[in-house]
Structure 1
Amino acid sequence: MLKFFRKIRKELIAEKKVSNYLLYAIGEIVLVVIGILIALAINNANEDSIKNKKEQAYLVGLKSEFGISKLKLEELIRVNKVSYEAAQDIVHLMDNEENPSEKELSKLFIDAFASDIFFNPNNSLLFEMINSGSLKDISNDTLRIRLTNWVATLDDITNQEKFLGEQRTNIVNWFRTAGYSIRTILDYTGMSSQLGIQKENEPTSNLSALKSIAFENNILLFIITSQSTENEHYDPLMKSLDEILSLLDSEIKE
């Protein structure tokens, strides 16, 4: 095609047809520009296709991660609820005139204070995207902001869980003092045999703790902190998690 136009150009120059030559030159420029635009369009289309495939891969991966994190958070909320409800039962026992059995108190103690409450979400892909600058590949502005805020929210959750852990430690430490026995709790809940420890013939009673105002104060602080963790941190976190999953679903192309 170019050879054909060059031949025409030479003939026009030879015949000194200036006006026709100018028209030809303009036409040749237009063809070159059109060719460049077509090449750029094809290149942009290829780049958009690659970018879209990359974004979709990220979206699918994030959906999987946040789906697992939701299951973990649901289980954590359940365990935390069991924990503070058992602590509430201990307070109720302190209000009763009749002492409960050593076995009942020991079981409630394990249910209330044996489990650490710690949210460990699956964020490997999200952190990789943030560290590599790939978060910008998420085209949905709202989703991108939600993902950024999610990381900041986790720091707040960690601080709250640390405070809750301190309240739990205060209560456990109470049974390390003279007159109380952690081993009694292990014996009556069957955990001694699991640990390979022989039961005591005459276990020390922990029932006197139910008469202690200081012990009650520690449990009440634990209950307050546990419920605050659920209502002011875990519940909003679950809402945020559901919103992120909803946005991911809306952006993923089946």
Structure 2
Amino acid sequence: MLKLFRNLRRKLLSEKRLKNYLIYAFGEIVLVVIGILIALAINNQNLQRQRLKKEQTYLQGLKNEFQISRAKLEELIRVNQSNLDGAKQILSYCRPGLEKPTEKEFSELLYQTFASDISYNPNNSLLEEMINSGSLKDLTENELRVKLTNWLATLDDISNQENELSEQRKLIINSFSQNQYSLRTILDQSGITEQVIGVPQAKESVSNLSLLDQQFFENNLLQFILATQATEEAHYKPLLKDLEAIQQAIDLAIAE
């Protein structure tokens, strides 16, 4: 084809047909430009396909991460609610004139309520990698990018609340550092010393039931209850809604 064009050009020049030659030259330029534009269009299409493929890979990875993070949060909400229920039940025994639980019931209730610390640890490895590498911009949905950025910021607030709850929990546990109360009794009566630690129970036990009559214990218990309720109502439940909104946004982006 190129040889044909060259021959045609030489023929026009040799015949001194300048007008026809100029028309031919212009046409050749147009053809070259069209060829370049076609090549650029093909290249842009290839880049677009690669970008979309990369975005879909990220979206699928984020979908998997947030599914795991949601399961962790739902389990944490369950544990936090269980701790709250246990603390309320213990508080009910602090009322004067009410029948007290047995030592075993009290020990099991204390262990079930305060043995588990509360700390949310979502799967954010891919999201953090995307942010650190600047790959978050590869997501075309601007709303989704905003939600993902806000998600990490919200987790900092959650961590602060969990630290406050942990401090309230420690106040309860520190009650047993006093000589008249025994952490060993709780572990013995709950079966932890033998089944978990692997040591025999103490031959004699110290009763912790008098704690229920102590004002400091009731005060600390109330602070724990308030912190536990705030953690769920003001932090975990709103966080779960944010997580669900992110999941919906990811699903919509994948479907597109």
Question: 1:95-244 counterparts in 2 under 5 A?
Answer: 95-97=95-97, 98-194=99-195, 195-244=197-246
Q: Report deviation, 1:132.
A: 1.0
* Matched AA of 1:196: G
Contact kept? 1:184, 1:205, Cα under 8 Å? yes
Who is 2:254 aligned against?
252
* Matched AA of 1:207: L
Who is 2:22 aligned against?
22
How far apart, CA to CA, are the structure 1 residues paired with 2:155 and 2:100?
A: 42
Q: Report deviation, 1:23.
A: 0.7
Q: Is the partner of 1:94 in helix, strand or coil?
A: coil
Q: Is the partner of 1:71 in helix, strand or coil?
A: helix
Q: Is the partner of 1:178 in helix, strand or coil?
A: coil
Deviations 1:13-42 (Å, cap 9, x if unpaired)?
111111111110110011000000000011
Q: Does 1:63 align with 2:66?
A: no
Deviations 1:103-135 (Å, cap 9, x if unpaired)?
111111112111010001111111111111111
Who is 1:73 aligned against?
73
Deviations 1:56-95 (Å, cap 9, x if unpaired)?
0110010000000000000000000000110010100111
How far apart, CA to CA, are the structure 2 residues paired with 1:141 and 1:122?
A: 22
Deviations 1:229-253 (Å, cap 9, x if unpaired)?
0011100110010011101111114
* Matched AA of 2:155: L
Contact kept? 1:51, 1:137, Cα under 8 Å? yes
State percent identity of aligned pairs.
57
Deviations 1:141-193 (Å, cap 9, x if unpaired)?
01111111111111111111111111101110111112000000011111111
How far apart, CA to CA, are the structure 2 residues paired with 1:87 and 1:3?
A: 92
Aligned residues: CA RMSD: 1.1
Contact kept? 1:56, 1:253, Cα under 8 Å? no
Which ranges of 4 or more aligned residues in structure 1 deviate by more than 6 Å? Answer: none
Deviations 1:182-240 (Å, cap 9, x if unpaired)?
00001111111121222122210001100111110001000000110001110011001
Stretch moving more, 27-36 or 1-10: 1-10
Q: Report deviation, 1:96.
A: 4.9
TM-score by structure 1 length?
0.97
Gaps of 5+ in 1: none
Q: Is the partner of 2:93 in helix, strand or coil?
A: helix
How far apart, CA to CA, are the structure 1 residues paired with 2:187 and 2:124?
A: 36
* Matched AA of 2:203: N
Q: Is the partner of 1:180 in helix, strand or coil?
A: coil
Aligned length: 254
* Matched AA of 1:115: S
Gaps of 5+ in 2: none
